[in-house]
Structure 1
Amino acid sequence: MRAFTIKRFRILAPLAWLYGAVTSLRNRLFDWGWLPSERFPLPVICVGNLSVGGTGKTPHTEYLVRLLSPRHRVAVLSRGYKRETKGYRLATTKSSSSEIGDEPYQIKRKFPEITVAVDSDRRRGIANLLALPERERPKVILLDDAFQHRYVRPSLNIVLTDYHRPYFVDALMPDGRLRETRGGIRRADIVIVTKTDEPIDRPIYEEWRKASSLEPGQHLFFSELVYDHLEPLFPDEASETIDTAQATVLLISGIANPAPLLAEVRRRARQVIHFPFADHHSFNADELARIETKRQEQSGPTLIIVTEKDAARLRQHPGLPNAWRAILYQLPIRTCFLNGEGERFDLLIQRHIEQSFNSNI
């Protein structure tokens, strides 16, 4: 197995030990039934992780939407991280990212036919979804980033871990990035190693399975993120097609780990000027003006590329320079499973849905 080099803050290890004690006690209280965990009468699939930071939850949630929505009435429930509203909110096609959060906004924009809602209290959020009129009531609920929200007991737990920083080499916060101890993986039904960028043969697969401490009934998959074609944020105003290979690209990223994105854009463009920001960054007018100044300094064709998540905030930004509307593009990503394992994953999910329906008859 490959060697892992991860950044840690060992001086904070005592705080991590204390944090681990608290989270372990909390998990035990749920395991013993001393804290309530509610199961609902429909398939509830949780997509989460053991760590903070980007593991690709949104692309994997979108994968499930594509898989299930043709046959089932699907709802996605998220807490709506960094939104400006509180409580339960049902998304519409007119909702803004400030109202429902970046990821729910992105999902609703891409899949307007499904139900998207936000609530930090997932149990209350599910109850509200089940109180919708019959013709709108979901038959399957996807929980985005709710693995640690144990007041809800999902019918299926999918845990994601980054190929370059798997949970079994990480440490608890604030020493590392783990939200809970590694033993939390025992609650997972499916583990997906995301952002894989190397071939996975059978010996490597078995090494990962052993290192992950998975039980025989837990399924392991490897996935990669595939970058699609550029899409204009303002199609009606986009300029004629620009050859990216001959252009200077101003790349704006407000995501947890921009390295794969930067590598992909560098592969496509003649020159890349990167403007990195923190995850879920709210852009202000001065920052956009600084980027616009850099754009004006360039000679030759210029494009501005952003992630789908950043596009959610920029599309409606009052300080967006008018000149950007013709050259502002987003770079969508999607999930692909390695070694043709997508069919096995799809079958697992579909069988789970059918079994859940049958058990609730």
Structure 2
Amino acid sequence: MLLNYLRLLLLPFSLIYAMAITLRKKLYDWGLMRSVTADLPVICVGNLAIGGSGKTPTTEYLVRLLAEYKVAILSRGYGRKTKGFIIADDAATAETIGDEPLQYYQKFENVTVAVCEDRVKGIEKLKHSHDLIILDDAFQHRAIKAGFNILLFEFRKLGTLQFLLPAGNLRDVFSSRKRADVLLVTKSPVPLLHVAQQASINELQPNDNQKVLHSYLKYGELQHLYTDEQRSLESIKDHEIFLLTGIANPAPLIEELEKYTKTIKHEEFRDHYAFKTEDIKKFKSAFQSSAKNEKVIITTEKDSKRLKAVGFEDLLVNLPVYFLPIEVDLFEEDKVTFDELILTYVKSNRRNR
């Protein structure tokens, strides 16, 4: 209730914010602020809200789809403690490049991962040695004009009242969706009923040249934080789960884990939170204080990159601590459409190298 009152108090500031970003949007649309077009395929994965819509697994889907090309992923590197253009290498950490870029780097050995707050500068440094660039979370970065924009909307939030910052989580006006080539509804239920699919289309009101497509989450095997050990979700049935997250929206993960147990003790931090030693000590103490024999610690793949920072291993190494990888996939007809749109765009715009 207090949060709702606070939102009401912040609404005037959201109105000011809306006016500012609408003006900025118009300045770009009128050509008074310059957008740079790159001479190679550039695919942007973005959203209108702050975090939680599935940009990371969607980017990973694109990397797998485009495996025959020399791909670079360019991110701002949110949460890093560095500045400027950096290409990820074996010395990279979540502090130097950010947790999501580190995840990309460690997952895809044939992909270049770079961070730069100035996307134009980043593309300039990458374009001569790559076939295409994927921009992670750059839909609002109008200084660069991507050739193909994928805009994500979380299924469960469609049809709900959302406010612009600071009263809500939207960082862009809803009309900006008209710039996108594909409106991808993420975290859809399985199976997806036709009536729900049509409701998404009605809500998003696409242009004639826009596609509204639907994706869903797939969960992999639990992976130990420090070893190669894997175990199935079925193996933790009826266990007590100590869940540690620092992501924007842990709700889908909790729903998945509740299929196997109803005993979940969740320690939740904000998105990209830099875990502190005291946080881990407190969490470990709660875990060790539990009298239940069958218990396990679970975190997300993104959080695992920050938990593996120097200093935490001594606290966690002897504990049953796992992260749960996720992937996205699209429903059959949507998958065919999406893949064809992406591959056609890249083939049609690829430079002769």
Q: What is the TM-score normalised by the length of structure 2?
A: 0.92
Instruction: Report the alpha carbon displacement of residue 270 of structure 1 after superposing the two structures with TM.
Output: 6.3
Asked if residue 356 in structure 1 is aligned to residue 349 in structure 2, the reply is: yes
Aligned residue for 1:25, secondary structure, equals: helix
Change (3 A) 1:181 1:350: same
Task: Give the aligned CA root-mean-square deviation in angstroms.
Answer: 2.3
Aligned match of 2:265: 273
Asked if residue 108 in structure 1 is aligned to residue 100 in structure 2, the reply is: no
Partners of 1:224 and 1:88 lie apart in 2 by 33
Aligned match of 1:315: 308
Aligned residue for 2:37, secondary structure, equals: coil
Aligned residue for 1:341, secondary structure, equals: helix
1:196 touches 1:224 (CA, 8 Å); kept in 2? yes
Partners of 2:65 and 2:332 lie apart in 1 by 19
1:59 to 57, 60, 76: 57
Partners of 2:32 and 2:230 lie apart in 1 by 61
1:58 touches 1:103 (CA, 8 Å); kept in 2? yes
CA displacement 1:277-329 (0-9 Å, x = unmatched) = 11111111111111111121223133211101110011124034445445121
Number of residue pairs matched by the alignment: 348
2:239 to 224, 227, 247: 247
Asked if residue 68 in structure 1 is aligned to residue 66 in structure 2, the reply is: yes
Asked if residue 292 in structure 1 is aligned to residue 302 in structure 2, the reply is: no
1:333 to 319, 326, 330: 326
Asked if residue 88 in structure 1 is aligned to residue 85 in structure 2, the reply is: yes
Partners of 1:68 and 1:209 lie apart in 2 by 27
1:49 to 47, 50, 71: 47
Partners of 1:269 and 1:54 lie apart in 2 by 24
Change (3 A) 1:239 1:38: closer
Instruction: Report the alpha carbon displacement of residue 42 of structure 1 after superposing the two structures with TM.
Output: 0.6
Instruction: Report the alpha carbon displacement of residue 246 of structure 1 after superposing the two structures with TM.
Output: 4.5
CA displacement 1:102-124 (0-9 Å, x = unmatched) = 10001111112210000010000
Instruction: Report the alpha carbon displacement of residue 32 of structure 1 after superposing the two structures with TM.
Output: 0.8
Aligned match of 2:200: 208
1:166 to 158, 164, 183: 158
CA displacement 1:141-192 (0-9 Å, x = unmatched) = 0000000000000000000011111388422212222212111011000001
1:195 touches 1:223 (CA, 8 Å); kept in 2? yes
Deviating above 6 A after TM superposition, structure 1's stretches of 4 or more consecutive aligned residues are 239-242
Stretch of structure 1 that moved more, 43-52 or 255-264: 255-264
Instruction: Report the alpha carbon displacement of residue 93 of structure 1 after superposing the two structures with TM.
Output: 2.9
Which amino acid letter does the alignment assign opposite residue 225 of structure 1?
L
Aligned residue for 1:280, secondary structure, equals: coil
> Quick one: percent identity of the two aligned structures?
36
Note the 1:137-148 alignment, pairs <5 A.
137-148=129-140
Partners of 1:211 and 1:325 lie apart in 2 by 49
2:115 to 114, 118, 142: 118
Partners of 1:152 and 1:142 lie apart in 2 by 12
Which amino acid letter does the alignment assign opposite residue 125 of structure 1?
G
2:223 touches 2:230 (CA, 8 Å); kept in 1? no
Partners of 1:308 and 1:300 lie apart in 2 by 25
1:129 to 117, 123, 126: 126
1:47 touches 1:158 (CA, 8 Å); kept in 2? yes
Change (3 A) 1:355 1:240: closer
Aligned match of 1:40: 38
Aligned residue for 2:311, secondary structure, equals: coil
1:288 touches 1:320 (CA, 8 Å); kept in 2? no
Q: Which runs of 5+ in 2 are unaligned?
A: none
Q: Which runs of 5+ in 1 are unaligned?
A: 1-5, 132-136
Note the 1:209-224 alignment, pairs <5 A.
209-224=201-216
Partners of 2:316 and 2:20 lie apart in 1 by 52
